[in-house]
Structure 1
Amino acid sequence: MATTKQKILLPAILLANDLLDGDVVFWTERGWSIDPAEALVAGDEAAAIRLQEVAAAALARGTVVDAYLVDVTLRDDGLPVPNHFRERFKIAGPSIRQDLGKQAAFAHLRGRA
């Protein structure tokens, strides 16, 4: 059976869920972080492939689950904003109590377009 190469949409970041606490995490130059502002942004296919390799290794080690590339748009301030609602919602967290937890810590994430 022939396989087809999936097109990588750029720029992109690597998003996953921490295996132990379920937090959404982002691959950075220093490892995983809960702060999307620190996410390493792949601007070309080679960088995106390296992020895919990071995802495969992390999945194999069992440190994260559901690791995948997310295509983003960069805001004027450099913050990567996912192009799809699902990932924007995952990053911003639950909408019920915006004054608690990461929703409060990352208030700059709300209302992004």
Structure 2
Amino acid sequence: MKIVAANRLTDGETVWLGAGDRWVDTIDAAHVARDPEDEARIAAAGNLALAANIVIDVSLVDVEIVEGRILPRRLRERIRAGGPSIHPEIGKQARNAALSAA
């Protein structure tokens, strides 16, 4: 299973490709590709947004579903989902939706 992660060009915030190929602010709203055809489709959508200067650093991220939540397999992506690791009172980790991501 994979999702597409990127950084929004206007503010650098980590975003994920959600339903309808819209960029969303929380990993739990990301569209999870469950087969190779869907992975190719979301990768192409991410690359189109990159070419349109909407996002940068587009990447496919390996994930698993744990207790109904999307959990990246790599620590780097878990940190990106949670926010900066030095100040837990600011960033994504200060928001309720991201508390269990990192």
* TM-score normalised by L of structure 2: 0.90
Alignment of 1:48-67 (within 5 A): 48-67=39-58
Distance in structure 2 (CA, Å) of the matches to 1:45 and 1:68: 15
- SS of residue matched to 1:47: helix
The TM-score with structure 1 as length reference comes to 0.82
Q: Which entry has the higher C-alpha Rg, 1 or 2?
A: 1
93-102 or 79-88: which moved more?
Answer: 93-102
Q: 1:34 aligns with which of 25, 47, 60?
A: 25
RMSD between aligned alpha carbons?
1.1
- 1:43 pairs with one of 27, 31, 34: 34
**CA–CA distance in 2 between the matches of 1:18 and 1:43?**
24
Unmatched 5+ residue regions in structure 1? 1-10
Q: In 1, are the aligned partners of 2:84 and 2:92 still within 8 Å (CA)?
A: no
Q: Distance in 2 between matches of 1:98 and 1:107?
A: 10
| Among candidates 61, 68, 76, match of residue 70 of structure 1 | 61
Shift of 1:101: 2.9
**Structure 2 stretches of 5 or more lacking a match?**
none
